[in-house]
Amino acid sequence: MQAYVLITVNAGKVIESLGEIKKIDGVKSAHATIGPYDIIAFVGFDSPDVLTSLIVDKIQKVAWVSRTLTSIASD
């Protein structure tokens, strides 16, 4: 299974947070964006529990991450 995680970070900290997010196991790709979200990460996971852990225990604990919104891919 796969999902997009839309990430908001503190002002001026996108590059630092992006570098850490890219290192997380399960993150297939991550990009800084211009728009309502600062970073969009594409993640892979085997079960809802794995996705929850990936977001709550890893992505949301990256320094300067303030909020996430997750959209599970349907295809």
* pLDDT, tens digit (0-9, with 9 covering 90-100), for 2-57: 999 999 999 999 999 999 999 999 999 999 999 999 999 999 999 999 999 999 99
pLDDT bracket for residue 69 (50, 70, 90): very high
Q: Which of 10, 8, 40, 38 is nearest to 22 (CA)?
A: 40
Q: What is the pLDDT of residue 39?
A: 98
User: Which domain covers residue 12, as residue numbers?
Assistant: 2-72
Residue 75 has pLDDT above 90, yes or no: no
Q: What is the pLDDT of residue 23?
A: 98
First to last CA, the chain: 9
Average pLDDT rounded to a whole number, residues 45-74: 98
State how far the Cα of 8 lies from the Cα of 22, in Å rounded to an integer: 15
Q: Which two tokens stand for residue 71?
A: 């959209």
CATH, residue 53: 3.30.70.920
Q: What is the domain count for the chain? A: 1
